[in-house]
């Protein structure tokens, strides 16, 4: 039997193991010493399966957490760029308004009318119903301080340039962090793909090894790490599908209500204002409730994602990405690379990650931008 090889993830590669077979058992039959040695080898292989899966799962968790941190840093950096550009735009718009206002002021002064127009009133905080003498005083002060206005305009232009320069520097940093986040996601998905390959090999061999030991009269542990990992998957595969409408789409949870919609909100854990890019669903006794695939697609992520907890992402044929977060520990029912159909049972709801209670956090991303999931679902008859 070949000893385990070391893989790039640091875990043994089950794919290179020459697992024991019934033919091997038959070859040692009748020789008690050979049987005992063979049984020890089979037990070692069962332990190897558990060890390999534990290490592969640890790698999935580590790379998922790293991806979450990288993605958060990139999002914050992109937010800084957006804020700097917005500040520059507001300042530029206000400066333009000031120029227009001064032009109207000169025109009115030359005509001998000192009635402050509404546009100028906004700029000078003057009410059109104020006494004309008061309005004249404000206008006169503005005329006298023409040099100050010029200095203010120059300072404003300098500040706009500073903001735009800062935005450019921040944009370069955001793009660098976005590249790092993409690399981190690639690593996380690669770890999930590795785990999937190891699970497939383990499923094909563990029962045979356990049966061999039983036939040789040895005790076998009633549960293993593998059996724990695949228990939910087996249950979900046997579960009836969710209702699919005439357009080919299914609700993500049965009889669910929205507990937190898409949009700005006070963060339930950290406090303060924060954008909520998903829609949260709950239903009676949400913990452990079945989650269904909204539409047919390919699983592109299935594993730990830091603050999102256990997380599944499915890409549809048109490139839309739908993700399901805070899934229960042990509640992932699909693997990276698998094709799913609308209404397929894919997970169990939970409260993993940064969460205050069992719920489903559903996100819809179109052309790289998160959108209100309810609008997308409603347009598809849900």
Q: Do 37 and 131 fall within a single domain? A: yes
Last residue of a domain, one of 192, 222, 252: 222
Last residue of a domain, one of 194, 222, 250: 222
Task: Find the Cα–Cα–Cα–Cα dihedral 71, 73, 75, 79, rounded to 10°.
Answer: 180
Q: What is the rounded radius of gyration, in angstroms, for the C-alpha atoms of the chain?
A: 32
User: Which two three-digit tokens encode residue 11?
Assistant: 């875990």
**Are the C-beta atoms of 325 and 278 separated by less than 8 Å?**
yes
**Are the C-beta atoms of 28 and 20 separated by less than 8 Å?**
no
Q: How far apart are CA 79 and CA 68, in angstroms?
A: 16
> Chain centroid to CA 342: how far?
21
Asked whether residue 227 is domain-assigned, the answer is no
Asked whether residue 138 is domain-assigned, the answer is yes
Q: Do 59 and 29 fall within a single domain? A: yes
Q: Do 213 and 247 fall within a single domain? A: no
The CATH number given to whatever domain includes residue 359 is 2.70.70.10
Q: Do 58 and 187 fall within a single domain? A: yes
Q: Do 13 and 143 fall within a single domain? A: yes
Q: How far apart are CA 74 and CA 347, in angstroms?
A: 28
Q: Do 262 and 176 fall within a single domain? A: no
pLDDT tens digit at each of 382 positions of the chain = 333 344 445 557 899 999 999 999 999 998 999 999 999 999 999 999 999 999 999 999 999 999 999 999 999 999 999 999 998 888 887 766 555 555 565 555 455 544 544 544 444 444 555 544 444 455 455 554 556 566 666 777 888 888 899 999 999 999 999 999 999 999 999 999 999 999 999 999 999 999 999 999 998 887 788 988 888 899 998 999 999 999 999 999 999 999 999 888 776 667 667 788 899 999 988 899 999 999 999 999 999 999 999 999 999 999 999 999 999 999 999 999 999 999 999 999 999 999 989 999 999 999 989 999 999 999 999 9
The pLDDT assigned to 338 comes to 95
Q: How far apart are CA 232 and CA 350, in angstroms?
A: 13
Asked whether residue 234 is domain-assigned, the answer is no
pLDDT, tens digit (0-9, with 9 covering 90-100), for 163-191: 899 999 999 999 999 999 999 999 999 99
How many Cβ atoms are within 10 Å of 19's Cβ, its own excluded?
A: 22
Asked whether residue 327 is domain-assigned, the answer is yes
- Per the DSSP assignment, residues forming a β-bridge with 216 are none
> Chain centroid to CA 357: how far?
18
Q: Do 272 and 197 fall within a single domain? A: no
Q: Do 210 and 248 fall within a single domain? A: no
Q: Which residues contact 232 (CB under 8 A, 6 or more apart)?
A: 330, 331, 332, 333, 348
Q: How far apart are CA 269 and CA 377, in angstroms?
A: 27
The pLDDT assigned to 276 comes to 84
Q: Do 323 and 188 fall within a single domain? A: no
Asked whether residue 235 is domain-assigned, the answer is no
For the chain, helix, strand, coil in percent to 5 are: 55, 20, 30
User: Which two three-digit tokens encode residue 12?
Assistant: 């043994």
**Are the C-beta atoms of 326 and 230 separated by less than 8 Å?**
no
**Are the C-beta atoms of 307 and 326 separated by less than 8 Å?**
no
Q: Do 75 and 165 fall within a single domain? A: yes
Q: Do 152 and 186 fall within a single domain? A: yes
Domain count, the chain: 2
Secondary structure of residue 61 in the 3-state scheme: helix
Q: pTM of the entire structure?
A: 0.79
pLDDT, tens digit (0-9, with 9 covering 90-100), for 330-363: 999 999 999 999 999 999 999 999 998 999 999 9
The pLDDT assigned to 65 comes to 95
Q: Do 143 and 272 fall within a single domain? A: no
The pLDDT assigned to 1 comes to 38
Last residue of a domain, one of 191, 222, 253: 222
Q: Domain range holding 129?
A: 1-222
- Per the DSSP assignment, residues forming a β-bridge with 279 are 362
Asked whether residue 231 is domain-assigned, the answer is no
């Amino acid at each position: 039997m070949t000893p385990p090889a070391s893989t790039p993830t640091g875990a043994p590669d089950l794919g290179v193991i020459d697992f024991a077979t019934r033919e091997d058992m038959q070859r040692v039959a009748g020789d008690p010493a050979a049987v005992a040695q063979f049984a020890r080898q089979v037990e070692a292989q069962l332990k190897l399966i558990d060890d390999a899966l534990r290490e592969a799962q640890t790698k999935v968790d580590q790379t998922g957490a790293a991806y979450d941190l990288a993605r958060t840093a990139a999002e914050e950096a992109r937010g800084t760029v957006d804020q700097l550009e917005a500040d520059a735009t507001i300042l530029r718009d206000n400066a333009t308004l000031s120029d227009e206002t001064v032009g109207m002021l000169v025109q009115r002064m030359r005509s001998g009318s000192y009635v402050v127009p509404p546009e100028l009133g906004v700029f000078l905080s003057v009410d059109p119903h104020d006494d004309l003498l008061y309005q004249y005083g404000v206008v006169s002060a503005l005329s006298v301080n023409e040099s100050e206005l010029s200095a203010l305009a120059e300072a404003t232009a300098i500040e706009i340039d500073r903001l735009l320069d800062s935005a450019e520097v921040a944009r370069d940093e955001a793009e660098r962090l976005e590249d790092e986040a993409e690399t981190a996601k690639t690593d996380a998905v690669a770890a999930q793909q590795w785990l999937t390959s190891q699970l497939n090999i383990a499923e094909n061999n563990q029962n045979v090894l356990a049966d061999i030991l039983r036939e040789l009269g040895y005790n076998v542990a009633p549960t293993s790490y593998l059996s724990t990992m695949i228990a939910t998957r087996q249950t979900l595969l046997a579960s009836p599908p969710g209702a699919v409408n005439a357009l080919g789409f299914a609700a993500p949870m049965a009889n669910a209500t929205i507990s937190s919609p898409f949009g700005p909100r006070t963060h339930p854990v950290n406090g303060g204002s924060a954008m909520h890019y998903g829609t949260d669903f709950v239903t009676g006794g949400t913990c452990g409730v079945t989650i269904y695939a909204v539409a047919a697609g390919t699983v592109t992520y299935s594993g730990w994602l830091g603050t999102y907890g256990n997380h599944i992402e499915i890409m549809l044929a048109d490139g839309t990405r739908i993700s399901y977060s805070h899934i229960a520990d042990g509640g992932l029912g699909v693997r990276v690379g698998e094709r799913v159909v609308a209404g397929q049972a894919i997970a169990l709801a939970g409260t993993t990650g940064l969460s205050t209670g069992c719920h489903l956090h559903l996100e819809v991303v179109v052309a790289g931008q998160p959108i209100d999931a309810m609008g997308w679902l409603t347009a598809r008859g849900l």
